[in-house]
Amino acid sequence: MCGIVGYVGTDHAKERIIDGLKRLEYRGYDSAGIALPIDGKIEIRKHVGEIKNLEKIIAEPEFDSSVGIGHTRWATHGVPSDLNAHPHANADNSIAIVHNGIIENYQEIKEWLVKDYGVKFKSETDSEVIAHLIGIYYDGDLLQAVNKAVEQMRGAYAVAAIAAAEPDKIVAVRKDAPLVAGIGKGFNFIASDIPALLKYVREVYLIENNETVVLTKDDIKIYNEAGKVVKRDVFHVTWDADAAEKEGYEHFMLKEIHEQPKGIQETLVRRIAEDGKINLDGISMTKEDIENFDKVYIVACGTAYHAGLVGKLVIEKMARVPVEVDIASEFRYRDPFVDEKTLFIAISQSGETLDTLAALREAKRKGARVLSVVNVVGSSVARESDDVFYTWAGPEIAVASTKAYTTQLICMYLIGLYMGSTKGTIEKDYYTQVLEELKLLPEKVEKLFAEEGEIAALAKKYHRKDQVFYVGRGLDSGVSYEGSLKLKEISYINSFAIAAGELKHGTIALMEEETLVFALATQDFLYEKMVSNVEEIKARGAHVIAVAKEGKTEIEQVADEVIYIPTCMDEVSPVLAVIPLQIFAYYVAKERGCNIDKPKNLAKSVTVE
């Protein structure tokens, strides 16, 4: 979603803000802008489209300051336009703000401001009301004015504000939207996400919910909801800023596809001890805790939800406990059956997905034990969970998730094995066999990259299709959903996934000449049934690309093309089966000339409902 960057120091603010905004491009945006206090007033420049459009209109040397705020907008209220772009200011340009989130009662506030104060609004956004609210309450103390404005606001937001009369500070506040403060020497930053700051700082404060932060060049003060100063531990960032660069790849997505062996290896080696036991640092579940759980909820959105579909089957098989997978945006609105005997697993790459965060809070309110699987250390989901299982995928920049998904799968296997071995519901030989299979995955994924050229050729052959189907059984069914999502989100092709056994209950009516179908057949005990499904599809004239294990060559007799993955246990095949689907989606989007890393209408971190 929207990205915020603020700088207070002694150097050129606009250069640092622009650099930070570029590093937040992965969040998705349709416009960008900057506000600087200059000569007693606030100057704002903003432009629809890419950041390079903004750079052209801020090039004059007179537009500069040592303090400023910047923003990349992803439209929620009002179409993408120069007027709707942030920053927004009050009537006399004495206050400017940038905002990530949604003000749910903005219409009510707007009507009040128009009626009682005669405010004239310039934009269609909900965010503009914040600038006018702060302006009305401002009497020389920006912190106090922000706090009074916040009292009137309902919703989710991270807001950063500057005042022309106090050109040496930024005041920011957070509620249900990510915010961090970067600690420099003679300068300080505020931002939506750590990558925006890594070029300049390594130490940050993670701002908590309902906290306000005041930045000057020499100081950062954090206040809680009661107005008391909060002492906060410094979070030291260990990963390298270079990890967020393309390193010679044409797109971040392709780079991240190729980083999956490393991510899988890192996630494994940090969790498996030399004696073969799983070491779940950050997770304090005892044998008694695990035996107490009578059900598990896995709750997530998008790609993370698809990882949960695989996780359900894995955990049920290994821990012998019923598992339900739910979409986070639906979970909290149906009064779910959750209590102190429930293990609630939240999966989120960013750890800032608002729907997942809200579902987590509802589960905690009902007494559930919360275990989160996240990629971003110190994120909101991680901080609000009882236990945290970090994936070690590294920064993921492309909007379409790849390496986060496969490392989330690894976490699902390790959680299942840990619970099963602790409860005694799996045999030691089986436990050892699965662990050994997991350890072989990085090498097997690397082997799949040798087929990249052939998969790219298939993409070139079929990139003009306007609809594609993905089918599978068992674990392959969950992978089908992820393969379908990858294709639709970056190529804009209408793709559809369904459990293969459901074909004859309606979907087979859509099979006709030249329909393209991906048929996943990597589950040995379901292989013959999948071959039969492929025969049914072919009988309607459709074109089938099958994904099967090496040696399962019978499928060549019914499929038009076959992509083979290395031989493995059925349980771990999703990690391998998804790789060709990711590669196919990437090359189809490339053939179609799509913006692969930043597909239209999408954002990396969905921080609004």
Tokens linked to 214: 């005041």
CB contact set of 82 (below 8 Å; sequence gap of 6+): 31, 46, 47, 48
Residue pair 157/191 in contact (Cβ under 8 Å)? The answer is no
- Strands (DSSP E) contained in 9-139 are 31-38, 41-48, 67-73, 88-89, 95-103
Distance (Å) of CA 338 to CA 57, 310, 360, 434, 535: 54, 21, 11, 31, 43
Q: What is residue 253's three-state secondary structure? A: helix
Q: What is residue 148's three-state secondary structure? A: helix
CA angle 287, 290, 293 (to 5 degrees): 150
Q: Is 483 exposed, middle or buried (0-12, 13-18, 19+ CB in 10 A)?
A: buried
φ/ψ of residue 126, rounded to 5: -75, -25
Q: What is residue 397's three-state secondary structure? A: coil
Strand order of the β-sheet with 561-565 is 494-499, 467-472, 516-521, 543-549, 561-565
Q: Which ranges constitute the DSSP H helices of 323-402? A: 328-331, 354-365, 380-383
Is 2 a residue of the active site? yes
525 CB neighbour count, 10 Å cutoff: 9
In whole angstroms, give the CA distance from residue 470 to residue 500.
Answer: 9
CB contact set of 139 (below 8 Å; sequence gap of 6+): 145
In whole angstroms, give the CA distance from residue 548 to residue 503.
Answer: 19
Q: Which residue is catalytic, options 14, 110, 444, 604?
A: 604
Is-cis flag, bond preceding 580, omega within 30? no
Q: Which of 65, 143, 392, 62 is nearest to 259 (CA)?
A: 392
62 CB neighbour count, 10 Å cutoff: 7
**247 conformational bin, left if phi > 0, alpha if psi -120 to 50, beta if neither:** left
Is 217 a residue of the active site? no
The gap between the terminal CA atoms of the chain, to the nearest Å, is 11
In whole angstroms, give the CA distance from residue 267 to residue 468.
Answer: 33
Residue pair 476/604 in contact (Cβ under 8 Å)? The answer is no
Longest CA–CA separation in the chain, Å: 79
Q: Using only C-alpha atoms, what is the Rg of the chain?
A: 25
In whole angstroms, give the CA distance from residue 58 to residue 80.
Answer: 20
In whole angstroms, give the CA distance from residue 264 to residue 270.
Answer: 10
Q: Is the dihedral of CA 532, 534, 537, 540 positive or negative?
A: negative
Q: Which residue is catalytic, options 2, 301, 411, 594?
A: 2
In whole angstroms, give the CA distance from residue 295 to residue 563.
Answer: 37
Positions annotated as catalytic residues are 2, 604
